[in-house]
Every structure is written in C-alpha cells, then in structure tokens.
Structure 1
C-alpha cells in the first residue's frame, strides 16, 4: 500500500516525532495507524495502583502504607521507523511498556525491583493475580527458597536440617494455613514457639484476646475476619527466602523474609470484587542449645519480627488484616513515602527506617 503522504512529509514526520515536536502530522500512513493500533492493544502494557500499607512494637517493627519514564527505541531499519511512528502517535503509551521502561528492573527475581507501573488489569475470581507480578511467583511454600543444611553452632547437619523443616512448618502454619487465614487460632504455629520465652508467650496470650498496636497477632500470623472477608481461591503467592547463621551462645539463628500475596473478596454472598492484601514479614528465630538456654526441644525462641502490609488496614488493630474493596480501593490517603510492595530489593531494616514516624504511608499498587 502506498503512503498517504509524500516522501518529504514522511521524512519530516519522523524527525519531528523523534524530537517530540507538536507539529508532527496527525494522520500518518495506514501502515503507521495499523502499527500504532497493535501497540496500543498489546495486553501486557503496565500501569500503576495505589493503596495502603501497614505495620512498631517493643522488639518488632511494623510498617503502615495505604513516573517518570524513558522512551524505548527499537533497533535499525524498519523497526526503527515503526518505533518512531508509535512514539509520534502516542509517546506516553510506549513508556513503561517493556521491562525497565520506567527506569526499573522487572523484579521477577528474588531481591529485584518491581516496576511501579503495571497495567491496571483488575483481578477476578477466575484470575485473582491478574495484573500483578505475583502471577509469576510460586504457590505457597514453593515460592520460598530454603538453604542447604550444614553443621552450625551447637547443631549437626542433621539437626540443622530438622530445624529448617520445622521453620518451614511454622511458615506454613502461621501464614498459609487455610483455617488460620479464615480467622482460627494458629495453634500449630504457636506450638513451635518456645513456651518458656515469657515475653512472647505474654504477647500471644494478649494478642488474640485484646489485640492492639503493641499486642498484634499479625506480627507473626496472617488472619482475616471470616464475617467480612473470604479468600478468592486456594492459592497464596509467595516470594522469599530463609537463611541461617550461628547466633548467640552457639544457637542456630534462622531468618525468614517472605512476601505473601493474598487474593480476597468480601464475605457477602455473590460478591465478585477481588482485592489483594500483601504482607511482607521478617521473622528471626533462635534454635537454642538446651544446655545453655531454657527451652523446649523442637521449639525456637523469637528474636525479632518485622511487618509491612499493603491493603491490610491502617492504624486498625483488631487482630485481622482489613482489606478494602470497590472503587475506593486502593486509596492513597497516607502521608508517608510511596513504596512498591512487590519490591524486595531492599532489606526490611531499611524499609522500616524509611517509614519510621511517617504514620500511614502509600503503596504504588496491589
């Protein structure tokens, strides 16, 4: 098909499109219109969301949180021409379309930075992770990387291996168990915590009876109020890792840093609005030498815990995660720094320091 404009005008169009000039022709050739339409209809173009984030107690820390782009040019020859046409027709539409298009990495690997602009594909009951990087994450424990056991501290290789297995059991029972997510008491997870660690036992006794900012069960467990919220499907997406080293008095110190993505919907019959609550939780556990520390064999002592949640409720401490649904979700009402809850490139300590004293912050998306 022959172009609808002259060769001279076509050349001027390409030059002005590259420079961003407003005088570029508004009606390029049919070929250009076809290419631009295909680019705009590409299903994986990203855009951004906003919402809340949550999470500071005595030894724990919590976080509460409620673009510039760059043009991407194709290679040489015809691709270069088509790329210039697309930018000339819709320069903003191409920005952030490819991995790294907003100046960040794709974030598909552990510790990577997820782009803050992803297409606003709304989650559904059939596809609750639609439009989320969590689509490519693992299901449940499969998304958590565990290390190879080796003799450490007072433990032999076999004992370390057993401690890692029980750490896995704790993560499952505290943050993935279907009954616990539906509001039940996490008895299996609690049974793995040293019953002789008085401060944590006091926290556990109070947290479920009279939850508060200080005594908050969410510091260690993920729970939703079954009268208001139900899970959208049986899958929880995860990304994280478990590491260990020698701790105090020869103990085995295990750190679990995991991000959980929970798809949920309102408990009302027939509700089909799906939201996502994102919880990043870091728990440090000490598997102590019974010869040096009062402990019960097969249990660990809690060294520290940190919590960072998105769309889980801000400054609301009723013992449950409290997601929002509908047009008002996600809301951008906080005054803290904006963060991407899928970004695992920074350690939790850094995230907590940044948010300290900020109150309710903001998340770029859920």
Structure 2
C-alpha cells in the first residue's frame, strides 16, 4: 500500500523484485517477514494493530463441527442400510447376533418366555441363530453346568460327582454328537443305559430297526436324515437345568431338562435357506445301588423320558427329524398338532407340555 492508502502499481512491484534479485545498488531491501505480516494484516484490516497482550476469544469452529456431524450421520445411515439388525442391538434389542453376550446358566425355571422383538430377523448360513433367543444361549454341553455334588442315597460325594459327569455324557452322546446328528446310531449313548433294563433295551432296538409311533428313537436321540438336511455350522445352542435327588431303593436320580436348538439347511448343494429344529427333552437317569438292582458299573436305568419338538416333522416316524422350510410351511401353515406354543419358553413345565409317558411332543411353534 502507498502512504496514501492506495495500492502499489503492479509494474513498480515487479521492478522492485527485479532490482532486489539483481541487488542493484540503491535498490530497496526486501521487506522483512515481520513487515510482510504487518502489511498483510493491514491490507485485510486497516484498523489499529492489536496489542501484543490483547486477549481475543478463539474463533468458533462451527463450520468444522457441522462437517464432522454430517460425516458421522452419513456413516450411521450407511450402517443402517447395510445391517439394520446390528443397529437394533446398539439400542437394547435382541438384534440377532448384534448382542450375543451369553446369558448366565439357568439355575431355576424362568418365570416367562424370552423377548420376541428380534424374531423377524431371518437366520443365515453365517449367522444361523440370528433372530433367535438362542443367540444368547451357551454352546453345546458346556452350557449345561453340573450342580455341586454331595453324598446322596447309596453314593458318596465322589460317586455322585462321577454320576453327574456320566449323565451329562449321555446328553452329549444322544443330542449333540456330530455323527449322531448326521444319522449315525448313538452307540456311546446306548452303552450308558443299563443293559439289564430289558424293556428299555427292547425299545431302543425296535426304534432303530423299525421306527414307529410306539418306538420312536427321536424321543431320546437327535438325528437328521443326511440325504435331506445338513447341520449348519458346528454349534448347537442349549439351555437347561440338571438336578439330582435320592430315588427309590437309595438310587441317585439325575434329572436333565434341556432345550436343544439345531440350525439346518437343505442337503442340496447351493441351498442357503436356514431354519431351526428345537427339541426340549426331560430325561431322568437312575444310578442304582448294585446291591439292590442288577446293573453294570458306569450305567444308569432309564427312569422316565419325554420330549417336545418344534419343526421336526409332526407325524414323522422315520427315525429322523424332517424340518420344514419356507416352501413347505407356505403349504402346511407349519405342521403341528394341538395348541400353539413358543418352543423357547422354558417357563412351562414338561408336565404341562407332554403328559407323563404319552404324547408326541409335536405342537405348532409360534416361532423358530
């Protein structure tokens, strides 16, 4: 700026630069950095210079804040569009796999059914428990803790502890063993049943030789026809309660009330629709005093057993679960007999679901 406040002509400024670069005698020296800064500030604000110790509140960064808010809103919208179930989980809903923190082990019968807000979310091959309360259940036999052992009936504390472990072994071999789920004979589970219990041995033999309504292996064992369906993944979700008490003749009776959730897809290559078969079984295993009952070491007598099945094929006596998929359910409306029930509801006793020693345990499921 000139002394009179007017701009310096361009030609004079260019001459100044040429003379300064050539160091022409008498040429003006290049303004110092301080001088350039002051000149620039004066050009922008011709008012009096700001004092060195004068306080100026920091400028508001509203423009930058608005930019970041808009950016995060855009990201959130993209997440909602790509995976709405995950966002549901952020705000307290079940959200399928959005919130998979496992529930504490069951210590007593619950007072009501699990929440249903995520039931509309469909399972996938990568997330077969999506939309199911079982997403928060434990995996396999590890989700079935054993009660603390104490001397009971004819058994010492150590013997009770061993009986509890072997009872849980039966639950694994009958309802969780991968080979058995693929249709193999449950040899390890059968070997745990007292071979001198003739009626049970005859029942089991007939059930695998010629399955029928009277001799149905699915009341005790979980098997799927490998030509029709396959288990999705390597996890079966379980929830249940194992207890024990002194029974007849001093026997230790171990009762297991367990719900199994099996995710399955069609066996055909390329099939990606996933459904679930849900089985709840109550089995009472009697560990008899060998001084009073003819038995073999390491085996139990079957005191009672009953089951309730959802989407296993009602009226099916093939010896294998035959779950329905969307196409079949569209025709049948979801096969079943009796009243509608929630297969995840463990607050209902087995006495109410299945009469002692009777019933097929096949009802109409309100959800899978």
Aligned-residue offset at 1:42: 5.8
Deviation string 1:89-109 (CA, Å, 9 cap, x unpaired) is xxxxxxxx968xxxxxxx966
Aligned to 1:363: 365
CA displacement 1:190-232 (0-9 Å, x = unmatched): 0000000000000011000100111011111100011111110
Q: Residue 151 of structure 1: CA displacement?
A: 0.3
Using a 3 Å threshold, how does the CA distance of structure 1 residues 334 and 299 change in structure 2: closer, same or farther? closer
* Distance of aligned partners of 1:353 and 1:295 in 2 relative to their CA distance in 1, 3 Å threshold: closer
Q: Please list, as runs of the form range in 1=range in 2, the aligned pairs for 1:275-286 lying within 5 A after superposition.
A: 275-286=275-286
Partner in structure 2 of residue 347 of structure 1? 349
The match for 2:114 is 114
Query: 2:354 is paired with a residue of what secondary structure?
Result: helix
In the alignment, which residue of structure 1 is the partner of 2:293? 293
Matches within 5 A, 1:76-225: 110=106, 111-112=109-110, 113-116=113-116, 118-225=118-225
Structure 2 residue ranges without an equivalent (≥5)? 1-76, 95-101
Partner of 2:39: none
Matched with 1:233 is 233
2:339 alignment partner in structure 1: 337
Q: CA deviation at 1:39?
A: 11
Task: Give the distance between the partners of 1:117 and 1:362, measured in 2 at CA.
Answer: 20
- Deviation at residue 335 of structure 1 after TM alignment: 5.0
Deviation at 1:242, TM superposition (A): 0.8
CA distance in structure 1 between the partners assigned to 2:183 and 2:220 by the alignment = 14
The 2-side partners of 1:125 and 1:318 are apart by 26
Is the CA contact 2:231–2:262 (under 8 Å) kept in the aligned structure 1? yes
Conserved? CA contact 2:119–2:367, under 8 Å: no
Give the TM-score taking structure 2 as reference length: 0.69
Task: Provide closer, same or farther for how the CA distance between residues 163 and 178 of structure 1 changes in structure 2, counting only shifts above 3 A.
Answer: same
* 1:360, distance to aligned residue in structure 2 (A): 5.5
Indicate the SS of the match to 2:261: strand
**How many Å apart are 1:149 and its aligned residue?**
0.6
CA distance in 2, matches of 1:163, 1:278: 27
Which one has more relative contact order, counting CA pairs under 8 Å at least 6 apart? 1
**Residue deviations 1:41-74 (CA, integer Å, cap 9, x gap):** 963799xxxxxxxxxxxxxxxxxxxxxxxxxxxx
Where 1:208 maps in the other structure, the secondary structure is helix
Counterpart Cα distance in 1 of 2:355 and 2:118: 27
Q: Is the 8 A contact 1:336 1:358 kept in 2?
A: no
Q: Secondary structure at the match of 1:291?
A: coil
Deviates more, 1:114-123 or 1:341-350: 114-123
SS at match of 1:317: coil
Aligned residues: 274
Structure 1 spans left out of the alignment, 5+ residues? 1-36, 47-96, 100-106
For 1:214 and 1:164, how far apart are their aligned partners in 2?
29
Question: Which one of 85, 92, 104 corresponds to residue 43 of structure 1?
Answer: 85
Aligned-residue CA RMSD in angstroms? Answer: 2.8
Contact 2:312 2:321 in 1 (8 A): yes
- 2:265 match: secondary structure: strand
What is the rounded CA distance, in whole Å, between the counterparts of 1:358 and 1:237 in structure 2? Answer: 23
Q: Are 1:326 and 2:368 an aligned pair?
A: no
CA offset at residue 327 of structure 1?
A: 3.6
8 Å Cα contact 1:116/1:364 also seen in 2: no
- Change over 3 Å in CA distance of 1:146–1:269 after alignment to 2: same
Distance in 1, matches of 2:152 and 2:129, equals 39
Tell whether the 8 Å contact from 1:257 to 1:281 is kept in structure 2 after alignment.
yes
